[in-house]
Amino acid sequence: MLKGIILHGGHGTRLRPLTHTGPKQLLPIANKPMSQFCLETMMEAGVRDFAIIIGGAGSNKVKEYYGGGEQFGVKITYVEQDYPRGIAHAISLCKDFVGNDRFLVFLGDNIIQKSISDFAKKFENSDASASILLCEVDNPSRFGIAEIKDGEILRIIEKPKDPPSNLAVTGIYFLTNRIFDIIQRLKPSCRNELEITDALHMFLKENYKITYYMITDYWKDTGTPEDIINANGAILENMTPYFFGKKESQVIIEGNVMVGKGTIIKSGTRIKGPVIIGNDCKIGPDVKIGPNTSIGDNSDISRCSIDNSIIMSGCKISGDFPIKNSIIAFNAEITKSSTPEKVFLLGEGTKISL
């Protein structure tokens, strides 16, 4: 059976101030930490024994959330990486954990909506030393890129200025323990990191077999606020609607909407899906929410409009103003305004009076 490794470190600099108080992989998408989507995707592929690599701000929050894995029906071991030294370096720290088993590596900020069970079975039954998932992208110079000819990988290049294809190497890797010998011989890149793309390219040069599979639907590397908001909308679109709260009269609900227990939707509220609202929230009066919006548990939203945004747990928002394309972190408070539309990127505990 495959073992699993989730990379949960890094500084998340492009997501500050959201990541000043914790790792970006715990930021919620559809009211669930993004790394939990990785865990669940791997579990669906049969993985039950995990190592989570932690390091940087809020590593303790990762341990607090996932614990030993009991609540998910899995076993979780934690591996510390003292500083971001590259994906290959992070993988090398798991040599003892992996032992002689084949394993699956998932970057904790990668979101897909496709089962990888078939890919996992094919890899386990193959003689390949590695297998990677590729996805066509519009901006290949941002990613590691694979050059393919006649169904075979010719080379893998990290963030090429002149990309040979638009096939991005996603942050999902099926590997064997042969990778540890390769990583031991790697030299740091210009970023002073041990690059997984360099390790895979060395596999190719030494005639090890690398297979690949294509992701033809949704994949997102959630490195920016825009990426996270995009992934949030995509996940919400495919969720099954439910309503466990209560609503007053004169409430309009349209489309794919999920409402948690203990939540009250007050009069004059209009919700246009896809939207998810957590538990124990007060929504309204006179609120317009959606589409593509998540609101976390214990939030109090009144007299405003919110769309294409993520409002995390414990937020209080009240005032005559629209919020759009925004991410507002845990326990933030925004009150009163008569000025035009606002765009926010607020860190945890922020308070704004407009």
pLDDT tens-digit map of 272-308: 999 999 999 999 899 999 899 999 999 999 999 999 9
Instruction: Supply 86's token pair.
Output: 């590259």
Domains identified in the chain and CATH numbers: 3-224 (3.90.550.10), 239-353 (2.160.10.10)
| Percentage of residues of the chain with pLDDT beyond 90 | 52
Confidence tier at 115 by pLDDT (50, 70, 90):
confident
Instruction: Indicate if the alpha-carbon torsion angle 136, 140, 145, 150 is positive or negative.
Output: positive
* pLDDT in the model for residue 339: 53
49-63, 175-189, 232-246: segment of lowest average pLDDT: 49-63
CB 144 within 8 A of CB 156: yes
Mean pLDDT taken over the chain: 87
Strand positions, DSSP E, 125-192: 130-136, 144-149, 152-158, 167-175
Give the per-residue pLDDT at 83: 75
Given a cut of 60, whether residue 321 has pLDDT beyond it is: yes
Output 241 or 336, whichever has higher pLDDT: 241
**Weakest-pLDDT range from 38-42, 219-223, 260-264, 294-298:** 219-223
> Where does the pLDDT of residue 172 fall: very low under 50, low under 70, confident under 90, or very high at 90 and above?
very high
Q: Does the pLDDT value for residue 139 go beyond 90?
A: no
Helix or strand holding residue 104 (H, E)? strand 103-107
Q: How far is the C-alpha of 22 from the C-alpha of 5, rounded, in Å?
A: 20
- pLDDT tops 70 at residue 232: yes
**Which pTM does this prediction carry?**
0.89
**What separation in angstroms does the CA of 8 have from each of 15, 25, 115?**
15, 6, 21
CA separation for the pair 72, 65 (Å, rounded) = 11
C-alpha to C-alpha distance for 261 and 323, rounded to whole angstroms: 25
- Residue 295 is predicted with a pLDDT of 97
DSSP 94: T
| Preceding peptide of 291 cis, ω within 30° | yes
Q: What are the backbone dihedrals phi and psi of residue 13, each rounded to the nearest 5 degrees, phi first? A: -65, -30
Q: In which residue are the tokens 């246009």 written?
A: 272
